[in-house]
Structure 1
Amino acid sequence: MVTPEIKLLSAAEQERFDRLYAYTESVLAADRTGHSLDHINRVLANAVLLLHDTPAADTLTVVAAATLHDTYDDKLVDNVPAARRKTAAMLADQGFDQSSTAEILGIIDQMSYRYSLDHDVTLDLNGQLVQDADRLDAIGAIGIARTFYYGGAHGSQLYGGEVREHLSGAEYRHSSSVLNHFDEKLFKLVDQLNTPAAQKLGAHRQQVMRDFVAEFKAEVNGAK
């Protein structure tokens, strides 16, 4: 796949980004759960959009974290510590110093919804942009498609069961059904977006999901 050109980067930074992107492609090439390189490309596009409205953020840090954020996700790799070390080594190989590497890994470690269920954490500005960019790809029409794609890949029940509240990270990972995932997570994300630009985009995507779920439930119940 062609590496995206990030026009906010210098030529030297783009070269470093290209190698990070190639590494991510090698890790996620076989994914069939909605976390493939297509997802990374959309998150990157979201991140660049948010960067235009957030000049105080560091572009290279944001796009590096956005590119690498699934390279050691426990949903996708068997040995998270080993995969995390490989990602850290890749950053070091591309000239990221110890402080920059620690910041990027810290963003990745703490940005997920699951992590937020067990920890009270406030990300720095760079982390907020990466988190928003990723969460925008979890909602709206794309979010609907990814939810059913992931549920199908894992054999989840299509609908049914009780919607659960106040979940721990471990409880959240065991879905009651694909449809319940909207109430258990996706509808909550829009209120957790950090930046005004993401909140504006999120409001529209939230309505897309609510309309879909209302239609889905009406058809299941024979009302339409």
Structure 2
Amino acid sequence: MNSEELVANTAQHVERLFAGEGSGHDWWHIRRVWQNALLIARQEKVDTTVVQLGALLHDIADWKFHHGDEEAGPRVAREWLLSQSAPEPLIENVCQIIREVTFKGAGVDTTPSTPEAKVVQDADRLDAIGAIGIGRAFAYGGHKGREMYHPGQEPQLHASFEEYKKNQAPTLNHFYEKLFLLKDRFNTATGQQLAQERHAYMQQFVHQFLSEWHGEEVPPAAFRLSDPS
């Protein structure tokens, strides 16, 4: 089986698995990450087969839906790629992307170790911000039964992945705990450029959200956007 067939088979497999998923981690999210990864990869010296497979399989068994098991994704991806007779070096490169792509808390360095992982991480983070990122954040919050916002629950900048995994805060906190932080954590010039407009759009949204929520009242200090850049 050549690389094109492996990518095509993987795309079909993932689409079957994730069609209709309602938490914001559906097939269309994965497809957007795949296409963003290809867009970024054109400007980078990377193995595009590894990039495409990493993008397609990055959420194949996300820890958020597998009791916090960080190895669920690499394990399921490996099983799939072995079923397709993929070579071991390729499998390991893809599994490494899956391990490294996720955000693990404000205080945790998640800089990827390979150029391919940097591309996929940027592509995934682009889909976490902007208009689509806003929609996905509230879709996931609703899926988990979380409040949209609670003025008395301040955002927390988690110092470890374990702290981040235990987080049950309202959805708006997620903007302060992760989404607003991503703009300065992109790996590639293309990712950084694309992130700017999406970041600004999120800030406008949150400003409007808080204005409508509080009216003439001033939001709690933890939720004020003092830096609109």
TM-score, normalized by the shorter chain, greater than 0.5: yes
CA distance in 2, matches of 1:79, 1:25: 23
| CA RMSD after TM alignment | 2.3
Query: Corresponding residue for 1:50?
Result: 40
Q: Secondary structure at the match of 2:156?
A: coil
CA distance in 2, matches of 1:130, 1:41: 12
Deviation digits for residues 80-125 of structure 1, max 9, x if unmatched? 5566433212212334211111111011011100278556654210
CA distance in 2, matches of 1:215, 1:119: 31
What stretches of structure 1 of length at least 5 have no aligned partner? Answer: 1-10
Q: Structure 1 residues 115 and 125 mapped into 2: Cα distance closer, same or farther (>3 Å)? A: farther
2:100 to 83, 100, 110: 110
What stretches of structure 2 of length at least 5 have no aligned partner? Answer: 218-229
Report the AA paired with residue 157 of structure 2.
Answer: E
Q: Is the 8 A contact 2:73 2:98 kept in 1?
A: no
CA distance in 2, matches of 1:83, 1:183: 26
* TM-score, normalization by structure 1: 0.86
2:159 is equivalent to residue 156 of structure 1: no
Q: Is the 8 A contact 2:14 2:56 kept in 1?
A: yes
Query: Corresponding residue for 1:92?
Result: 82
CA distance in 2, matches of 1:49, 1:91: 24
Q: Is the 8 A contact 2:19 2:26 kept in 1?
A: yes
Query: Corresponding residue for 2:186?
Result: 193
CA distance in 2, matches of 1:132, 1:77: 23
Q: Is the 8 A contact 1:58 1:126 kept in 2?
A: yes
Report the AA paired with residue 67 of structure 1.
Answer: L
2:52 is equivalent to residue 63 of structure 1: yes
CA distance in 2, matches of 1:155, 1:214: 24
2:113 to 95, 101, 123: 123
Q: Structure 1 residues 221 and 145 mapped into 2: Cα distance closer, same or farther (>3 Å)? A: same
2:66 is equivalent to residue 73 of structure 1: no
Query: Corresponding residue for 1:31?
Result: 21
Report the AA paired with residue 169 of structure 1.
Answer: F
CA distance in 1, matches of 2:75, 2:169: 33
The aligned length equals 213
Report the AA paired with residue 10 of structure 2.
Answer: L
Report the AA paired with residue 204 of structure 2.
Answer: D
2:157 is equivalent to residue 168 of structure 1: no
* TM-score, normalization by structure 2: 0.85
Identity %: 35
Report the AA paired with residue 184 of structure 1.
Answer: E
Instruction: Give how far 1:48 is off.
Output: 1.1
Q: Secondary structure at the match of 2:104?
A: helix
